[in-house]
Structure 1
Amino acid sequence: MSTPATASVAPDVEIVRRILAHIDAGTTDEGDPWREPVANYLDPARFSAELAMLRSFPSVYLPAAAIPNPGDHVERTSFGVPLFAVRGHDGRARVFRNSCRHRGLTLVEGPGCAHALVCRYHGWTYRLDGELSHVPHAEAFPGLDVSGRGLVEVGSREVDGLIVIGPLTPRPDDRHAESAMAALSDGGAWRDKLLPAERLVYVDATPRPMNWKVLVEQFLEGYHIRSTHKNTFYPIQYDDLNVIEAFGPNTRITFPYQNIERLRDRSEATWTTDRRVTYVYHLFPNVMVATFPDQVLVVVIDPVEIDHTTVTIYALTTTAVAEALSRAPEGTTGGLSLLAAGGSEDNEMSEGVQRGLHAGANDFVEFGTHESAIGRFHATLDQRLEWCR
């Protein structure tokens, strides 16, 4: 499903203008500084409040390309709640709580494709729309209302390449949750970047020993490019040069490549950011959509415990690139290796931050005016926590 386009982020030409102006002036986009108390990363009570709040608001569950065909299904635990998504015979994507209605066994394990969903414990069988269709030895369950024992669905919408779920613990007449769903239900900001990448080529889920907010923060600034990515991203990008745009509670951060300067002598009518920038769309609270040449990554950051997080990366590409990759996989090895190396460097820094938070050296974490997207993330998080009190 697509939604009407809105002018929520700048077009390519305006982004190029802003980047070239920053290059010439030696500047970057600036915003308000922020100080985040160290206790907010270490306090179990704060983490519990965050988890309860996250369950009270909508969020992106996964890219629609993960279940392209009827019968395709995939599971993931979101904010501590086991869920799975399945595409029905009617073409509609649905999200269910991952639990059989008999004894509660998780119904889906990993990705797969099936005409029906069968519990491997006792054989209770569900149609793809969640309805209970078969109970072995049904006479053993007197009074069982089959029509009322289907899978428990979580409200969801398929929006411009993403499947967005509603609150897992909804609150009555919550206008804040409704507003948050509206902010994730208009893909005008990311539609033209994500929709062409309709083929899922890779999925990886990795536990990380750090607070979920530390992982979010590593995506939201370019102040670290030179020092952290000296031999990976820095030779092709710029240190501390970003364009920051807000749309609703979400943010787009533009990381330019040095080859963007080749556009200086070309007509603006021909300007495009394709293969000249990485866009990172932070879809609040915990999902990043990051564009790279020949692929798009959808990164889901799932809090597990106060100092443990699962990071699931869905790598997507166009049909043409996927077919080329299948014919000559070595053709993209260099780019994939660069991304893997850069990601490893980011994770190393984040793990070090998590350890350092326990050192007792700081009362707060300092974010400067060049890291304003991080401050905005924390401000929005605080606002939602306040709404849930």
Structure 2
Amino acid sequence: MRILFHHRIASRDGQAVHIEELIAALERQGHETILVGPPGFTATAFGGSNPLVDRIKQAIPGALYELLEVAYNLKALLRLRAAVRRHRPDVIYERFSLFLFAGIWVRRLSGLPLLLEVNSPLYEERAKNDGLRLHWLGRWAQRLLWNRADAVLPVTGVLAGTIAEYGVPPARITVIPNGIDPTRFGSVPDTEAAKAALGLPPRMVLGFTGFIRGWNAVHRLIDFVAAHRDRLDLHILVVGDGPARDSLQDHARARGVADRLTISGIVGRDDVARMTAAFDIAVLPGLTPYSSPLKLFEYLQLGRAIVAPDTANIREVLTDGKDALLFDAAQDGALEDALLRLCGDAALRQRLGEQAKRTITEKSLTWDRNAERVVAIAEAAIGHAQGQLVGEAAATRV
């Protein structure tokens, strides 16, 4: 199968990981993929972004920037149509972006089925976090895009519920969570060797991987370490970087535990596993209620003891007491109680970690399995489209 993979991503972060891992899995299975998107994407270093886009976004009013997003469709349409004519794909697979209409336009012009991957409800997310100005346009665009795709592929059941509320028939919605390529995590050092390689002291390490934002609530780990410094020899390792880095370091200094916090900064994808291997306890202190965190699958594959919020999207993957300890995010002290329990019970940490790794296999949480499901959905959509063409041709003859 020839798959045209369309996106509008300028930064190389978790979004890029999803794209690259799924494409690699599809190609391992013998399918041909054609990546179509902003030309600077593949040249951007991991962790980087398009500086021109960043400057424009900061320099102009929000409403004008949103109109520029709509205007971008003219360029995207020309690029996408040229790719269709040159490569003659069987299907278009697109990563959902608010205001990106080129995919549904080309679907209408070419008759090619469109599969739409949805990682978040961008209208709601941007309205809450980014100060979206053109609310009416954003909500209209999201409804239009979700309803015009032949198949909508959200990463969680929670997100699938939101998509259904926009009028998309359940038969066109298939949940495909994020996954893992186990071969990337095949040869990592044991925990103590990983700590030594990173120059960490021989303490119990509480770890977090990813882009550091305020809502990640990593500051709660600092508060926990500060509160228990007299009885527990703990260290915090953050593998990643982000806008909340400085505030975390300031908070650690204010709590007197600056020497117990290490933030790696941006690291290459191939370095994530060897650094995460230093975690004794892998923590998700906070997360959005609809997400499928990439870090979660890394924690599982590495066999870490996991602490995570007891939310619906997390329960789609984890089971409390089996492969993780889940805490009630609305209850004061629940995260800290879970951490205390794990810090004091080595046998529990080992049991949860061993089961965590088995969960990957038991639930088929791999990119290869995701690719198989995408292909099956694409084949069904192609068959449906061909059936419609045959029906229309027969009706014309009559």
Which TM-score tier does this pair reach, normalised by the shorter chain? under 0.3
> Whose strand proportion is higher, 1 or 2?
1
Report which of the two has the higher share of helix.
Answer: 2
Q: Which has the higher contact order (CA 8 A, sep 6+)?
A: 1
**TM-score, L = length of structure 2:** 0.25
